[in-house]
Chains A and B, each alone.
Chain A
């Protein structure tokens, strides 16, 4: 199984809502990542988890809260988002030693 899955595929939320994005992989990878991608732009790194611990936070606003409940699962909790947070949110995982990151299909988020 070389797949990273993400749910939901699409999400529309209001600025006062609380929602969560979910990412799952069963490749035994110990590093997992969240990226944000605006239209016609490259992905930008948000968070990195290594061995279930947060190792990198790229100065992301606190309205985004990552969580890694176990080695296969990565969540991104969303609260009080702004319309400019509308984007494609990509999850990736990496075995670590060979450098390759495998990406999920993404969640298209729209904040109204």
Chain B
């Protein structure tokens, strides 16, 4: 079974600064997807960024980027120019790519609560 570990229960950053959230995972599979989801207090789970394991290039979405180290099984999220709206619970998630039809659930880490200080 796959496991996802987020070792930082809470992080705090000043507005406009950069913060990095850590995630490690354990799997015996070679093909999989990794995600960062954001869940604000309003509770809707929103996709932040996605990485395919077979791609060496790190994914980037505007102010959000990842550092994907496949050999180390590490998948950290960097948020640049932090904004008040970035405050939320951030979940790292794993999904196998080996099941046909995409019908595999996500395995989540425990989450990191990100606080943005004005």
Q: In the complex, which of the residues A43, A48, A90, A97 has the most CB atoms of chain B within 10 Å of its own CB atom?
A: A43
Q: Contacting B105 at CB < 8 Å: which of A48, A51, A104, A106?
A: A48
- In the complex, B19 has a CB within 8 A of chain A: no
Whether B44 contacts A106 by the Cβ 8 Å rule is yes
Q: What is the interface size of chain B, counting residues whose CB is below 8 A from a CB of the partner?
A: 25
| A42-B103 CB under 8 A given contacts A88-B43, A105-B44, A106-B43 | no
CB closest chain-B residue, reference A51? B101
Out of A51, A96, A99, A105, name the residue touching B50 (CB < 8 Å): A99
Residues of A near B42 (CB, < 8 A) are: 105
Encode B40-58 as 1/0 by CB contact (under 8 A) with A: 0011111100101000000
A94 CB contacts on chain B under 8 angstroms:
102-103
- Does B97 have its Cβ within 8 Å of any Cβ on chain A? yes
Chain A 27-51 per-residue mask, 1 if CB under 8 angstroms from chain B, else 0: 0001101010000011111001111
| Nearest CB on A from B93, distance (A) | 8
State the CA gap A45–B46 with chains docked (Å).
Answer: 17
How far, in whole Å, are A35 and B93 apart by their CA atoms in the complex? Answer: 13
